[in-house]
Amino acid sequence: MRYLPHTEEDIQQMLQVVGAADLDALFSSIPGDCRRKKAMDLPEPLTEWELNGHMDCMAASMGAPPFYKVFMGAGSYHHYIPEITRQLLLRSEFFTAYTPYQPEISQGTLQTIYEYQTLVTRLLGMDVANASMYDGASGLAEALLMAIRATRRKKVAVSRAIHPMYRKVVETYFSPTGFEVIELPVGADGRTDFAGLADLGELAGVALQSPNFFGCIEDLEAAGKTIHADKKTLFVVAFSEPLAYGLLKNPGACGADIACGEGQSFGIPQSFGGPGLGMFAAKQQYVRTMPGRLIGKTTDRDGKTGFVLTLATREQHIRREKATSNICSNQGLCATAATMYMAALGGTGIRELSRLNRDRAEYLKSELASTGYTSPFSAPTFNEFVVRFPKGFADTWQALLEKKIVAGLHLAPYYPELSDCWLMCVTETISKSVIDALVKEVAK
Amino acid sequence: MKAISELNLPEDVRYTDDHEWAKKNGDVVRMGISDYAQDQLGDIVFVELPDVGSSFDKGEEFGTVESVKAVSELYMPIGGEVTAINDALADEPERVNSDPYNGGWMLEIKASDPAELDALKSKADYLEVLKG
C-alpha cells in the first residue's frame, strides 16, 4: 500500500464522478455544527531542513539514554535492540503492510503474526496467544473483561502492586460497565496479600503482576492455588517486563488462565512512552472469549499450508456491538519487531540477557545496601527494586540529574505510604562502572 | 440453502419468530433451533450453552451458536430454569445441522409458566413467518 496525497486534479476528478461541485458540497450531509467553520490554526509549513532542526531541538530537551544514565523502568525499559531487528523491520513488506483481511495477498504478514503468537505462547507457557493488543494496560483491562465474559460473574480483584497506570486503564474500561473492581492490598514483603480473598465472594478473575510494580517477584504458584480454591475464578497474570520470563517460571506453568502484559522490552524503543505492545495469551478452553484478532494455520484446497484470520466471527467488523472486544486491530509493527527480537535472541539468548539484567540489578541493590540504603521489601526481585532513602534525597536526585543520571522513580505520587522510596531499575544497558558512579554519588 | 418446502418442520414442536423450537418432554421442556435456522447458519462449529441451574425469562439470550460465517444469539422460547444441557454438542456441534430436533437439542428447562409453551407458534403459523 502506498501513502500518496491526492492532487488537486485527483480531487476534481473524484468530485466530478460523484457529482459534487466542491468539497463543501461533498460534506454537506454532515450537520453544520459538527463542521469546522474556520481553517485549522496551524503554524506555517517548515522546510525539511527547518523541521529536522526543530525536532533536534526538541530531542535535545529530553533526558534519554544513551546521553543520560537512566535507572528508571516502571513499565518502560531501555534495552539494546539488535541491528538485525531494525533492518528487517524496515523492509517495506513489513513496514507498510495493512490489516490482512485478504489472505490471498497477505501471507507474509499473516505468517509473521502467526510466528509472533507461537513465540508468545512459548514465552508465557500458554496454549493460545492473540495477534496483540495496544499495550500492557489495555491487555490487562481486556483480560479482566474476558474473565467476566467467561464466568458470567460481576466482579474482579486486582492487586495494588500492579502498575498504577494499568489500574487506571482498568478503571476507565470498567467505569461504564457496572462491574466491580476490588483492590487487593500489598503485604509487608512487597507481594500481594491474599488473606482477605476468601471474603470477597464470587470473583470472575484475580489479577497479579509479576514482577510487580515494585519489582518484586510474586509467588505465582501459591497465588494460583489460592485463587483456584474457587474453581471458576480465572487467574490473570500481568507483566510489564516480559524479559523476566527468561529466568522465572512462566505464568502457564504456575496455573495462569490468562497472561497479559507489555512487550516493549522486546525490540521496541521506549519512544517517550509509546507505542507499546500488548501481549495476550490464554488457555485453549477460553479461546472463544479472547479479545482481538487471531491468526490460524490451515491448508488450502490444493493441500498447501496457508495462514488466515481465524475465529473472526466474534470480531467487531462482523459482530458489531456483540463482539468480544471493541478492538479488532493489533499492534502489527510492534508485534513484528518483538517477533524478530525473540527469534534473534532465541531461548538461550533471552535466558542469558535475563540473567544479566537480574545480576546487574542485584549488584546495585547490594552496593546500596552496603552504604546503608535498603529496600522496605524482602521479596526477591528481577531488574527493579524499591529503595528507601533518607530525608533530603530529592535534592540528591536533582543534583544527579544535573550530572545526567536519573536515579529512579519517586514513588510518592503513586503510593503515598512509600513517599521516602524510589523505584530503581538496571538493565543490560547500565554497566558496572555506571552503577559504581551512582553509588558513589548517593553515598556522598 | 433449502427451499421452504424442503425444510424439516415437525408437527409436535412449537416455534418462535427467532427460529427456536420447544417441546414438552415429560416434566421438562426441551429446546433447540429449527431446521431453517441451522440451514441459514451453515456449518456449525461451536455452541455456547448456559450452566445447569441458571434461570432465564422468555426471550432472554441464553447462549450463542457459531457457524463458519457468523455468531448468532440464542433466545429462550419460554422462561424457566435450566435442568440439563446437551453436552454432546461440545464435541459434535454439527449435530445441530444434521439432526436439529433430536441429537441437536440444546437445553432442557423446568418451565416457569407452562402456558408460555402453548402460546408459541404451530408449524403452520411458523411457515407463515418463513414465507414472510
- What are the helix (H) ranges across A19-106? 23-26, 48-60, 83-89, 92-95
User: Does position A295 have pLDDT exceeding 70, yes or no?
Assistant: yes
Identify whether the C-beta of residue A120 lies closer than 8 Å to the C-beta of residue A131: no
Using alpha carbons, select from A305, A298, A210 the residue that is nearest to residue A251: A210
Is-contact B52 B105, C-beta < 8 A?
Answer: no
Predicted pLDDT of residue B70: 83
Residue A328 pLDDT: 66
CA distance B116 to chain A (A): 27
* A174-183: average pLDDT: 96
What burial class does residue A390 get, using C-beta atoms within 10 Å of its C-beta: 0-12 exposed, 13-18 middle, 19+ buried? exposed
- Residue B72, chain A, CB below 8 Å: the answer is no
Q: What is the pLDDT of residues A65-115, one digit of tens each?
A: 888 999 999 999 999 999 999 999 999 888 877 777 788 888 999 999 999
Task: Answer yes or no: do B66 and A319 touch at CB < 8 A.
Answer: no
Handedness of CA B87, B88, B89, B91 (dihedral sign): positive
Percent of chain A residues topping a pLDDT of 70: 99
Residue B67 with chain A: CB contacts under 8 Å: 313
Average pLDDT over residues A335-339: 96
Give Rg (Cα) of chain B.
Answer: 14
Neighbours of A199 (CB within 10 A): 6
What are the residue ranges in chain B where pLDDT is below 50? none
Distance from the B12 Cα atom to the nearest Cα atom in chain A, whole angstroms: 33
**Interchain contact A317–B (C-beta under 8 A):** no
Query: What's the whole-number mean pLDDT along residues A377-382?
Result: 98
Inform me whether the C-beta atom of residue B46 falls under 8 Å from chain A C-beta atoms: yes
- Which residue type does A179 have? F
In tens, the pLDDT along A222-239 reads 999 999 999 999 999 999
CA distance linking residue B125 with residue B34, whole number of Å: 14
Q: What are B46's three cell numbers? A: 461451536
* d(C-alpha B113, C-alpha A60), whole Å: 75
Query: What is the pLDDT confidence band of residue A320, given thresholds at 50, 70 and 90?
Result: confident
- Answer whether residue A312 shows pLDDT above 80: no
Torsion angles phi and psi, residue A45, rounded to 5: -65, 150
pLDDT for the residue A3: 67
pLDDT for B42 equals: 93
CA of A343 to nearest chain B CA: how many angstroms apart? 33
- The closest CB to that of B70, out of A152, A288, A318, belongs to A318
State how far residue A286 is from chain B, nearest Cα, in angstroms.
Answer: 12
How many percent of chain A have pLDDT more than 90?
82
Please say whether the beta carbons of A181 and A140 come within 8 A. Answer: no
Residue A164 has pLDDT above 70, yes or no: yes
Angle subtended by helix axes A164-174 and A136-151, to nearest 10:
50
Average pLDDT on A210-217 reads 98
Residue A373, classed as helix, strand or coil, is coil
Residues of B in contact with A319 (CB under 8 A): 70-71
- Count Cα neighbours of A238 within 13 Å in the Cβ-side half-sphere: 35
For the record, the C-alpha cell of A149 comes out as 465474559
Closest CA to A153 of A205, A198, A194: A205
Question: Which ipTM did the prediction report?
Answer: 0.73
Query: Searching chain A, which residue's CA lies closest to the CA of residue B44?
Result: A313
- What DSSP assignment string belongs to A392-429? THHHHHHHHHHTTEE--EE-TTT-GGGTTEEEEE--TT
Tell if the CB–CB gap between A313 and B70 is shorter than 8 Å: yes
Over residues A296-301, mean pLDDT = 93
DSSP annotation of A294? E
pLDDT of residue A344: 96
The string of pLDDT tens digits covering residues A384-425 is 999 999 999 999 999 999 999 999 999 999 999 999 999 999
CA distance A141 to A258: 12
What pLDDT score was predicted for residue A2?
A: 61
A318 interface with B at CB cutoff 8 Å:
yes
Judging by DSSP bridges, how do beta strands A205-209 and A305-310 pair with one another? unpaired
Using the beta-carbon criterion (under 8 Å), do A313 and B48 form an inter-chain contact? no
Digit-coded pLDDT (tens) for A262-281: 999 999 999 988 899 999 99
> Do residues B33 and B62 lie in contact, with contact meaning Cβ atoms separated by under 8 Å?
no
